[in-house]
Amino acid sequence: MGETMGTSQWYYVKDGTQRGPIDESDLSRLIQHGALPPETPVFQDGLGGDWTAANTTGVFPLNATTAPIAQARPPRALIWSMAAALVALLITGVLLFNQQETKSQEALAEQEQKLFLLTQELASNTEVLGKHQNELDNTQNTTDLLDVENAQLKAQIDALTTNLNKASGDLEALQTTAKNMQSQFAQTSTLYAQSKDQLKILETQANAQAEENKQLQTQLQAQRNNPGAGNAQTAAQLRAALSALNSANQKVDLLTRQLAQVGRPSPAAPSPPPVVTHLIPSVLTAPAPPRPIAVKPPTTPGASEPIGSVVTVDARAGFAVINIGTRHGVKKNDRFIVKSKTTGLYVGTLRISNSMEEVAAADLGRLPIQTLTPGDTLHPIAP
């Protein structure tokens, strides 16, 4: 048995409490000296994990050892001394064993406390980890939503940028149109000022011609009042007066038409006197003066579709505005036939005096301003 005993560690049960680990030699002495009964349950990893009685392991004493019968009995004092030493040794061993067992139990309790604390910490860390995982999932969801919102905002920004560029282009086009309209307005104002100056000149000429016409009528009336003068000198004077009167009538008619061109009514002038053909039958036979020729429509090979229309008629400036310009091929001095918008009949002709991009100004010429109204249609003159 001495060969099998060594320094391996054992566990044992005392008073219902597990003790150990303890060296194999120390456990053997406890059983041998009666501190533990031989059937004390013991345990070692090599025994398969089951508790077994110490006296059945073949390692520990089967019974407590009694003192051998000596051939020669030692002295009593020696026996008591040895007993006292053995008791002291036993007490010391028991105290050491109890102290070691207490320390082991305290260390075990401390380890259990640490394990409990670690278990609680692990549970707390697991809970915190779950919360962090939930926060991470929420953050990921928020990130996905932000990505969608960012994409939508980018699309809106792109659309706004496109609309802004389009609006900038429209603004530039409007600015260009405004500049063109300002230029056209300046040209129209210049034409209006020129027409006013021409109007003043024509009014002066018309007044002077009316006064001359009045003098000629006075002379003619004087000749009528003296029909007895039948000599050749009187006849020559009558011819000259008649010719001058007819010439004056033609000038007045021409000035009247020119005044109509600048949009102002002609100055008050006496009606032309009847043409005198027989002042003195036996002395003078004068030819009838020529009458103004009525305006006839230009010869056209056939009816044509309208290419434009009259927009407005300026009676004061003496011109009309039509809705076609240089963009439509209209240029200065072009002439167009005008037809009534209501009857479709010929009204007269217009001559272009100034052409702009979208509109043009036309002189009224011989066209009486009362017969021209906005909406009348324009037709080309066939070559």
- pLDDT single digits (tens) 77-97: 788 888 888 899 889 989 998
Query: Are residues 364 and 378 in contact, defined by beta-carbon separation less than 8 angstroms?
Result: no
In angstroms, the Cα distances linking 313 to 184, 362, 367 are 16, 10, 12
* Cβ contacts of 335 within 8 Å, gap of 6 or more: 349, 350, 351, 352, 381
Is 271 strand, coil or helix? coil
Q: Which residues pair with 355 in a beta bridge?
A: 360
**Is the N-terminal amide bond of 75 cis, ω within 30° of 0?**
no
Q: Which residues pair with 321 in a beta bridge?
A: 312, 361
Tokens of 101: 């067992």
> Residue 351's pLDDT band (boundaries 50, 70, 90)?
very high
How far is it, in rounded angstroms, from Cα 372 to Cα 258? 16
What CATH architecture applies to the domain 308-380?
Beta Barrel (2.40)
How far is it, in rounded angstroms, from Cα 147 to Cα 153? 10
pLDDT tens, residue by residue, 28-79: 999 888 889 999 999 887 666 688 898 888 888 877 665 444 444 566 778 8
Q: What does pTM read for this prediction?
A: 0.26
Report which of 290, 288, 293, 289 is spatially closest to residue 257, judged by C-alpha positions: 293
Query: Are residues 30 and 37 in contact, defined by beta-carbon separation less than 8 angstroms?
Result: no
pLDDT tens, residue by residue, 144-193: 889 888 899 999 999 999 999 999 899 999 899 888 888 887 887 787 77
In angstroms, the Cα distances linking 307 to 14, 68, 255 are 130, 155, 32
